[in-house]
A and B are shown apart, each in its own frame.
Chain A
Amino acid sequence: MKKSFVVFVLGGLLMVLLSSIPEMPPMGNVNNPSFNQVSEYYISQAIADTNTPNVIASIITDYRAFDTLGETTVLFTSITAVISVLSGKKMTSIMKREDSNE
């Protein structure tokens, strides 16, 4: 009963998602809605603005540099969490050793 309900819900979701695939515009077309004046500006003005032939690098570290700063902050937070969680292991093993000595 429960399994058939899960299969029914997932199957309905699959049908909805599959029905939207033929409506998607073809990849790399000029008339796509994602190809607007923003990407035109990046492609035409990136070398004049940043002196860099790699447009992706100029977007990542110049136009969207604040976003990259956020990504590095995420990395810093993850490493802080890992160190603070896994360093407790060392303390407990040392404390256990001292307890067994007494």
Chain B
Amino acid sequence: MNDLIVKTVTKLIMPFIQLYGIYVILHGHLSPGGAFAGGAIMGASYILYTLAFGIHEGHKKAPHEITSKIESGGILFFIGLGLVGIVSGGFFLENLSAGFPPGVVGTLLSGGLIPLATFAIGMKVASTIVTLFHRTIEEEMYD
């Protein structure tokens, strides 16, 4: 689809959607929302870009090499956060007693493991949605 209005509005609105997604992910331990909702909003912004500009431009924006690395890296980072608890002598995925900094209640950097885990899962959900959509759509690239 080659429409000037759709392309211009997509270019205008995409940073705000991504800003909202990052806000929902980073404030997952303070406000409603969290990893899955924020990751879905982030992925939806890339889906909007691919719908407006076509699969080739979408591939340039979010290539398979980078999204697959983010996806594997997210889950490996989450498992690594769990292994910190074992290294410090506690249980798997232990939070404050494993030595994560507690911070002040109600601020952005608080809660020890929770913001880090939310960030990792959010990035993984976003890249999963983008990869699913591109893999389902990209048939016409090879024909």
Residues of A that sit less than 8 Å from B by CB: 47, 49-54, 56-58, 60-62, 65-66, 68-69, 72-73, 75-76, 78-79, 82-83, 86-87, 89-90, 93-94
At the interface, yes or no: B52 with Cβ under 8 Å from chain A?
no
The answer to whether A69 and B96 touch across the interface, beta carbons within 8 angstroms, is: no
A90 with B142: in contact, given A73-B75, A75-B128 (CB under 8 Å)?
yes
Contacts of A73 in B (CB 8 A): 75
Q: List 12 A-B contacts (CB under 8 A).
A: A50-B114, A51-B111, A54-B28, A58-B29, A58-B111, A62-B113, A65-B93, A65-B117, A66-B92, A83-B135, A86-B136, A89-B139
The answer to whether A65 and B74 touch across the interface, beta carbons within 8 angstroms, is: no
Contacts of B65 in A (CB 8 A): none
Measured CB to CB, the nearest residue on chain A to B131 is: A79
Contacts of A49 in B (CB 8 A): 95-96
Contacts of A58 in B (CB 8 A): 29, 111, 114
Measured CB to CB, the nearest residue on chain A to B105 is: A51
User: What is the bound-complex CA distance between A90 and B135, given in angstroms?
Assistant: 11
